[in-house]
Amino acid sequence: MCDIKDISMKRYIPKRPSSIEDSSNANSVSVLKGGSDALRVDYKEIERIIASLRTHYNDRLDLLDRETKKNIETLDKTIILQYNTDSYPDLFALVQKYFSDVKEILPNTVGSYCYGCQQVKGFDDIGCAATCVNGIPPPKLPDWAKCDHTVLLITRKEGHNYSTVLNSTHNKSHAYVFIVNLNKTGISKNLQLTAEEHLCITKLGIKRYHLFEYKNNKHYDISKGIVNVNDTFNRKDESKTLIETYKKVKQHTNSNSGFLAIFLIIILIIIILALAANRYRR
């Protein structure tokens, strides 16, 4: 069974508004006060929201309670309207005020949304990073662009692996796949995709992907580049792909079928001989 949730944000950051009037019709929680070409917001309310989100920083984005989810949506609308204005650094400063002390951030959490883009290490395509793909972009990225690749997060936790689509696009020719291990026993030595995880990738229509492990705020390149969906990469402990597993299962099934046929024939011969023996005694 392939358990997949899609939490990708359909976010569009507009170009910088030329005046207050150009953006006054936007659907937003912003409070327009005039006197500047930058949209202004109720910072007290936004700070209240950010402070509340800080207490939920480790909560999964796909399992949020109603109030926290609403706070995320409100903040995100404000981010979209403010990003290309002069006041955006002030807004982002509020986020830094409450989240800059977070030491470790997990993907698909409130923490990754609020401050994950500030913690990206070992990954060049920052907009597609495991903790940044749906995150609040820092003001130091003037040419910020939405990730153009499908991003899949595979989480391993106490015997239950689940997959989360962090970013969904029509581009299936190159996807990013991140493995996060939350098992209490520590980091798994086996970074090979399981048959179930491989099935999730093919189910999404992904043709080629780049596999990373995410741990301690860092991205580690596992596949050493982009690989085809059915490729095998060498591991110290295991190097099996879904196709190899399928072939072995099929071969085993065929062997069992042949054995069963032979067994039935032997039983049939025994029955025939027993009947013949009974007739001979009569």
pLDDT digits (tens, 9 = 90+) for 53-86: 999 999 999 999 999 999 999 999 998 888 888 8
240 has a pLDDT exceeding 80: no
CB contact at 8 A, 114 and 137: no
Residue 263 φ/ψ, nearest 5 degrees: -60, -45
Report how far residue 91's alpha carbon sits from residue 222's, in angstroms, rounded to the nearest whole number: 36
278 has a pLDDT exceeding 70: no
232 has a pLDDT exceeding 60: no
- Using a pLDDT cut of 90, give the percent of the chain over it: 29
- Smallest CA-to-CA distance from 177 within 133, 113, 236 is with 133
Give me the mean pLDDT over the 187-215 stretch.
81
- Smallest CA-to-CA distance from 211 within 202, 224, 198 is with 224
Q: Looking at beta carbons, which pairs linking 51-60 to residues 24 or more positions away fall under 8 Å?
A: 51/98, 53/98, 53/110, 53/114, 54/98, 54/99, 54/114, 56/110, 57/99, 57/102, 57/105, 57/109, 57/110, 57/111, 57/114, 58/106, 58/109, 58/110, 58/111, 59/109, 59/110, 60/108, 60/109
- Smallest CA-to-CA distance from 264 within 276, 275, 254, 256 is with 256
- Smallest CA-to-CA distance from 248 within 259, 236, 240, 237 is with 240
Write down the domain spans for the chain: 7-128, 151-239, 241-282
Confidence of residue 124 (pLDDT cuts 50, 70, 90): confident
* Neighbour count for residue 97 (Cβ, 10 Å): 13
- Token reading at 278: 């009974």
H/E run at residue 208: strand 208-215
Q: What is the largest CA-CA distance in the chain?
A: 116
134 has a pLDDT exceeding 60: yes
Report how far residue 152's alpha carbon sits from residue 265's, in angstroms, rounded to the nearest whole number: 51
H/E run at residue 218: strand 218-228
H/E run at residue 151: strand 151-157
The pLDDT of residue 58: 94
The pLDDT of residue 27: 36
Report how far residue 94's alpha carbon sits from residue 48's, in angstroms, rounded to the nearest whole number: 10
Give me the mean pLDDT over the 194-214 stretch.
88
- In DSSP notation, 154-171 reads EEEETTEEEEEEEE--S-
The pLDDT of residue 241: 44
pLDDT digits (tens, 9 = 90+) for 143-170: 456 788 999 999 888 767 788 898 888 8
